[in-house]
Amino acid sequence: MENKETKYLEMIVKNIVEKEDDVRVTQELDEKGTKLTIFVAESDMGKVIGMGGKMAESIRAIMHAYGGKTNQKIGVVIDEPEGKRSR
């Protein structure tokens, strides 16, 4: 079931990438709060992360502020395609 946080983040990411149909956001709840994971096409990873990670930082800041407004802690993770994970 999608909630407002998931839909909001998905809308933000779809406005950044070229392959909007490949955007997917999942949600996990744990004792720390809400964890949202972004999945995008490999060709759009650079757009979502940005130069020096600036776009990723901005996305996390927006969702952190959204969480403050809705009284919850929200973390954002960008899933890297298999075999491309940094060490």
What tens digit of pLDDT does each residue of 16-75 get?
999 999 999 999 998 889 999 999 999 999 999 999 999 999 999 999 999 999 889 999
Domain residue extents for the chain: 4-78
| CA distance linking residue 7 with residue 33, whole number of Å | 17
Pairwise CA distance, residues 49 & 22, whole Å: 16
What CATH number should be reported for the domain whose range is 4-78? 3.30.300.20
pTM of the model: 0.86
